[in-house]
Amino acid sequence: MSPAASRWARVFRGGAERSIAQRLFLSAAIWSAVVLVIAGVSLSAVYRGLTERAFDERLGVYLRALVADVAMSGDDAVNAPEQLGEPQFELTRSGWYWQITRVDVPIPLIRSSRSLFAARLPRLADFGMGADSTGVRRGFAPGPDGRDLRMVERVIDMGAEGQWLVQVAATTDDIELQIRGFIRSLAFAFVALGLALVGTTALQVRYGLRPLRRLQDEVAAIRRGDSEGIGGSFPQDLAPLAGELNLLISSNREVMERARTQVGNLAHALKTPLSVISNEANADASPLAEKVREQAALMRDQVTWYLDRARAAARSTMIGAATEVEAPLGALVRTFEKIYRDRDLTFALACAPALRFRGERQDFEEMVGNLVDNAGKWASARVELTAAPASAAGLPDFISIHVDDDGPGLPAGRRAEALGRGRRLDETKPGSGLGLAIVADLAKIYGGSLALEDSPLGGLRAVLRLPAA
């Protein structure tokens, strides 16, 4: 494949990643350039043909004048013909020449213009040039000074008065100068026209795709939670799409609400029998009753965990859910300051402004609350909570929440175990062992992650990464 073909192949292979605006602009620009080039080449060829025909006509006028002189002069044709009215024929090697030759005698009789200066013109017949219906030959031949000449010639048969070859030739410099001047003017005009077409194409694409950009902004506002539907009027081509999107969003909300209701009903339906079983077991002190109480409590925790996970999964797919980060974090800090007041723990918060979580506030509070509660259980004197943007080139926007404590920390080999469901690494601390597992599962449902690291405070750092709105 040639280098040019390879470049075009790369252009079209990369078309799938280009925006509609880029595709429209590039296609219009490329086709405009192709059309202008074809038009320029065609016009240049037409102009060259017209110029050469006009030049041939001019030479033909001189040829006919010489033929007329030959016809009237007869045997005296070798004498000087009448003045042709062209001074170039009188200037030596001017590039304009005529020559009259009697060709039916052993020694040709030749009469030529002064400009030939004892030189001779070649015959077009010797170059294989054919004559037209009038007996005139036209073509290019080398001149006496090495320049190409445009030549016309004709053989005149005058019977007893002989056969005469009449030739007129002129340099093509004038033709080439005219053609080059025309091509320069045409190129300048077409470049200006091409730039104008590119500019108008860019304006047309920008104006034509403005409704699409507005629709994109409306959908982005819904995703961020700033709007509940697509508003405003759109062109006939986009209005049905905007309406269908609004119906889809409304249907999504209805499905989520039904899922929430059904999950809530299921929670009540399961918790009531478990409460009855626990109450009955509490009235008995036998080993069997103790085992029933233990298993009932485990079932209650498991039911709560799975129902919460189902609710979170339903909420995470709801379009347009968004939560401000700073306010719930501040509320959590104040809450845990009261909870751990007797231990005199310090809770510090550092939150970047205008952070928003793409999800439900309830789930956000549950995830961060579990992390802060876990840090409070193990901290000696201080818990730090930090929230900041965490974006990478080419990836969706995220927020990163760090929860640090100055407790004993956790060895790296046991951190994966700590994220497992129901794993309590220290039975002396209260809890069911589901807190970190719930956070990890909720973060995963929303497309985020939870990781445990060493904290700068000397204890454990929990890194919660969530999608930003």
Query: Which of 336, 358, 366 is closest to 437 using CA atoms?
Result: 366
How far, in whole angstroms, is CA 153 from its chain's centroid? 62
In this prediction, residue 393 carries a pLDDT of 54
**Res 299: pLDDT:** 76
Which pLDDT value is given to residue 343?
87
Average pLDDT, the chain: 80
- Model confidence band, residue 126 (pLDDT cutoffs 50, 70, 90): confident
Domain ranges of the chain: 74-173, 239-313, 322-467
β-bridge partners, 462: 403, 452
Q: What confidence score (pLDDT) does residue 465 get? A: 92
Between 296 and 191, where is the model more confident?
191
Is the model's pLDDT at 119 over the cut of 60? yes
Mean pLDDT of 259-269: 67
Question: Which pLDDT band holds residue 296 (cuts at 50, 70, 90)?
Answer: confident
Amino acid 425: pLDDT: 43
Query: What is the pLDDT at residue 254?
Result: 74
Digit-coded pLDDT (tens) for 63-105: 888 888 877 765 555 554 555 677 888 888 888 899 988 888 8
pLDDT value at 12 more than 60: no
Res. 463: pLDDT tops 90: yes
Q: Which of 49-58, 346-355, 389-398, 447-456 has the lowest mean pLDDT?
A: 389-398
What pLDDT is attached to residue 436? 82
Weakest mean pLDDT among 129-143, 274-288, 367-381: 274-288
Distance CA 173, CA 170 (A): 9
CB-based contacts of 390, cutoff 8 Å, min separation 6: 398, 399, 400, 465
C-alpha span between 149 and 106 (Å, rounded):
28
Q: Please tell me the predicted confidence (pLDDT) of residue 431.
A: 44
- Supply the DSSP symbol for 121: P
Stretch among 78-92, 121-135, 150-164 having the lowest mean pLDDT:
78-92
Q: Residue 148's beta-bridge partner residues?
A: 142
* Model pLDDT, residue 1: 52
Assigned CATH for 322-467 = 3.30.565.10
pLDDT in the model for residue 429: 46
Residue 349's DSSP bridge partners are 385
407-445: per-residue pLDDT in tens? 988 888 888 877 765 444 444 444 444 568 888 888 888
Q: Is the pLDDT of residue 274 over 70?
A: yes
CA–CA gap between residue 389 and residue 468 (Å, rounded)? 8
Q: What percent of the chain stands above pLDDT 70?
A: 80
pLDDT band at 360 (very low <50, low <70, confident <90, very high): confident
For residue 246, the model assigns a pLDDT of: 79
Q: Residue 134 in 3-state DSSP?
A: coil
Instruction: Out of 23-27, 28-32, 459-463, give the one with best mean pLDDT.
Output: 459-463
